[in-house]
Structure 1
Amino acid sequence: MNFTENIIMIIVLGCLLCGYVLKKWVKDVENKYIPTILSILGALMNCMVSGISLENIIYGALSGLASTGLHQAFTRFIEKDRDFDV
């Protein structure tokens, strides 16, 4: 089974939004804890949508972590474009 078939896009987007809020507006949370928070949140959201099973927990956690990677890739892309404008 391919990993990309099991990423739940609504969970990735929800975790991406929550991660953005944590990073920008919640100052008490250190950056190093955000991936852990998002993986737990992704697992919980997938269990709420698809039911509780080990497979749903794992795929939800991976979807939460994928949102962290997506945010980092987007940030690096934007910062790279900004460096060329100087």
Structure 2
Amino acid sequence: MAISGVISAIVIGAVIGVLGRLIVPGRQHIGVLSTVLIGIVAAFVGAVIAHALHVDHTKGVDWIEWIIQIGLAALGVAALDRYKSRH
């Protein structure tokens, strides 16, 4: 993967993390860096899942892949928030 691909993945991951955080109701007690890291992980894992389901290459926008990634980010944000609120 070229450096431009890595930078793109980080930027897209940050957007995914923010969108995932917006889906989770209420106030989250996690920082911006945690949100971005969760988004990056969700973007990569979601891309792997979309590839396994053969929905990663469609004509136009890959909506199913985006939904998977944002859903994973929302789960990650909720899980980390719950973990941090208990400790």
Asked if Structure 1 and Structure 2 have the same fold, meaning a TM-score greater than 0.5 normalized by the shorter chain, the answer is no
TM-score (norm 1): 0.39
TM-score (norm 2): 0.38
Q: Which structure: greater helix fraction?
A: 1
**Higher RCO (CA 8 Å, separation ≥ 6 residues):** 2
Q: Which has the larger radius of gyration?
A: 1
